[in-house]
């Protein structure tokens, strides 16, 4: 019989949460540390994870949404340079389809 006991399941889940791919999110929630999320739409979201589920849907706080905008070039003029844009979002829900990478914010970690 290959059934697992509730104690074994709990131990296995705890080990997975502490070392597996969700460990970064768990540590962020526990320590209130900032993460950097890269999204499919080429936006970056540094912020704090308040909650998440196993599908990686997330509730974020104090988010600074950042992206680069390419201005339209005017005929006969020099090419315009890309412009970095950002805005602040106090609370947001991020659906799992949008996040592609979550890591400790390197701008904060290096300090």
Question: Residue 111 has what pLDDT?
Answer: 45
pTM: 0.74
Contacts of 4 (CB under 8 A, 6+ apart): 12
Give kind and range of the element (H or E) at residue 92.
strand 83-94
In the beta sheet, which residues pair with residue 44?
A: 38, 66
pLDDT tens per residue across span 57-94: 999 999 999 999 988 776 666 777 889 999 999 999 99
**Do 52 and 60 contact (CB within 8 A), yes or no?**
no
**Do 108 and 28 contact (CB within 8 A), yes or no?**
no
pLDDT tens per residue across span 15-27: 887 887 788 888 8
């Amino acid at each position: 019989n290959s059934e697992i006991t509730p104690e074994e399941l709990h131990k296995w889940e705890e080990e997975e949460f502490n070392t597996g791919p969700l460990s970064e999110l768990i540590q962020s929630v526990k320590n209130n540390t900032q993460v950097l999320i890269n999204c499919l739409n080429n936006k970056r979201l540094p912020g704090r994870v308040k909650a998440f589920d196993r599908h990686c849907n997330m509730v974020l706080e104090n988010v600074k949404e950042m992206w680069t905008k390419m201005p339209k070039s005017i005929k006969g003029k020099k090419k315009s340079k890309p412009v970095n844009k950002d805005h602040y979002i106090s609370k947001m829900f991020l659906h799992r389809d949008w996040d592609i990478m979550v890591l400790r914010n390197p701008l904060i970690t290096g300090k």
